[in-house]
Structure 1
Amino acid sequence: MTGLNGKYEIIKDENVMEYYKAVGIPDAFIDKVGTSPPSLEITISGNSVNIKDIKDTTVELGKEFEDKTPMGGVAKCVATLEGNKLTITRIHDGKKGGHSYEQNDEGIVVTLTFEGSPVICKRYYKRV
């Protein structure tokens, strides 16, 4: 069992709107989805990873999977786990990005990056 397993609630965001704009998500979509999901749940068991936030996603560590982007495209992704850091590497339209979920003393920090964007987004969650 990993220390990432658990339920979390959002504490604060950094650069969410700026990140969405920098990666080309239209304002109308940003307004519709808001800044962040209010809760997050992660369950890791063996090689299976389940993440519940805006959607419910289950993947297998180290195996490529497809994930729909907010604008309806498809990203090729791979999830890896190193210690208490889960990283999902994404390739969409030839650009690399990713989401990392890293445990800290208060809960989890989720970091979003995308190649070509100078903006890094962070979401801070506390364990509940």
Structure 2
Amino acid sequence: MAYEELSNSTIFPLGNKVEGNFIGDAYLHMVFTDPTPLNTAIGNVTFAPGAHNNWHSHKVGQVLLVTGGEGWYQEEGKPAQLLKTGDVVNISPNVKHWHGATKNSWFVHLALTPGETDWLEPVNDEMYNKL
């Protein structure tokens, strides 16, 4: 999918390019940051093909709502799961994981993140390239 086609098909604006803790081009648009009533930040994250974040965990947990494209989600010690539009991932507190686009598809999700994120090491390129 071309960049122009992607930006015309997404629900929320593309946002700003994310610097640090990501491999490849990823963009973030904060949809919701008000502490009431849910006390959770909601970010629309858009990954270009091949883009993904570093390993990380969330002190309170996280929920991902996939709104477009195809991507990967992987918890440490488990196989990667292919994600598609409409999938929901409920990530428990302090679970080390990463997520991002497949090599050939844009990937867009809403990330509901109520607490702090602990950023860790990059995903091994050899492992990602085998997916």
TM-score, normalisation: structure 2: 0.29
TM-score, normalisation: structure 1: 0.29
Answer 1 or 2: which has greater strand percent: 1
